[in-house]
Chain A
Amino acid sequence: MARVITITSGKGGVGKTTTTANLGTALAMRGARVAVMDADIGLRNLDVVMGLENRIVYDLVDVVEGRARLRQALIKDKRLPELCLLPAAQTRDKDAVSPEQMVYLTNQLRTEFDFILIDSPAGIEGGFRNAIVGADEVIIVTTPEVSAVRDADRIVGLVEAAEKGTPSLIVNRIKPRLVNRGEMLSVEDVIELLAINLLGIVPDDEAIVTSTNRGEAAVYDQHSLAGRAFLNIARRLNGEEVPFLPLQDQPGVLERFFGIFGRRRT
């Protein structure tokens, strides 16, 4: 039974596309047949994050408008044969697709894949609504910042109003040192404010920058903390109980000097 999961956030730039690419890759690494769909029509990005931008021939709008069959538009991942990307159109706008067409498209994908991950555009307008209309579950990505949390709360309400159940939460770009100093909202604070179930905690990690530069998912990088966090989230999506990673401080100069004071866990 296929699962359609939409990754959304309200605010832009919090890591939806990175999350979609990494979860899709992680699920496929574990043997699932996965399609990742870029629903951000007009601002396509999932292709470059996954390093597949040179392989695009047809896109989502071509399929919807009948210029291409779904199978022609799906791009196979470079490494994982069970992972496919359905790219967004770059030259059209979000009104190019109707909610009914999105439902039809996701239902077509259901017959061929175990997981369909939809990368939602930012905002609360048509593009967002199209991204959730065919979903069984919704994941909200937020960062521990007031603007992102506020927007996430708005999205929780809209997802519930659309009768998609209560979304689950990924808190991205946590900086344990700042949290320990009381200068960044903790994961507990964010959960208390939003009151939805926590699916994962992803630490701030420079490896995301380098992996995105190369168009390779961070889950391939054994040393990337964020990559490991995404692998764990993929396991949780598969129903496994996986404890949250302890967030180790990167000790600062002074704290390193004092040694024992420098290491704390959250």
Chain B
Amino acid sequence: MGFLGNLFGGGRRDRSASVAKQRLMMVLVDDRYKLTPDMLEQMKIEMAEVLSRYLPHVDSDQIEVTLLRGEANDHLKAEIPLKRGRDE
């Protein structure tokens, strides 16, 4: 980003390139797999439900699902942060 970028409006809001990239990632998932943002949200909620049976404190809002495109196959990557709760 550099000096001038920091001086003028750096960090004020997300750079449009990263917004574009995020939006494209979502759109491409939808295009390739007919997976709409609503379905993705529902998937997160259900993932949280299943995981909660085995792990305490899984929050569906904290789950991040991203699609990675590989050479032969695409991968759906889910990041599921676990709250560090020793039995309260």
Contact = CB atoms under 8 A, between A and B. Distances in A.
A57 interface: no
B25 interface: yes
A153 B17 contact: no
A248 B72 CA distance: 34
B5 A181 contact: yes
A180 B31 CA distance: 29
Given A185-B17, A193-B25, A153 B31 contact: yes
A189 B3 contact: no
Interface string A222-261: 0000000000000000000000000000000011001001
B16 A150 contact: no
B17 A180 contact: no
Contact of B17 (A157, A166, A183, A258): A183
A258 B4 contact: yes
A146 interface: yes
Interface residues of B, number: 21
Contact of A181 (B15, B21, B27, B31): B15
A186 B3 contact: no
Contacts of A189: 17, 20-21
Contact of A153 (B20, B23, B32): B32
A163 to B, nearest CB: 15
Interface in A66-85: none
A45 to B, nearest CB: 28
Interface string A79-118: 0000000000000000000000000000000000000000
B15 A195 contact: no
Interface in A9-45: none
Given A157-B32, A264-B2, A146 B24 contact: yes
Contact of A150 (B1, B15, B31, B69): B31
B71 interface: yes
Nearest to B10: A182
B17 A184 contact: yes
B69 A183 contact: no
Nearest to A150: B27
Interface string B1-40: 1111100000000011110110111011001100000000
A195 B27 CA distance: 15
A146 B70 CA distance: 20
Interface of A: 145-146, 149-150, 153-154, 157, 166, 178-186, 189, 192-195, 254-255, 258, 261, 264
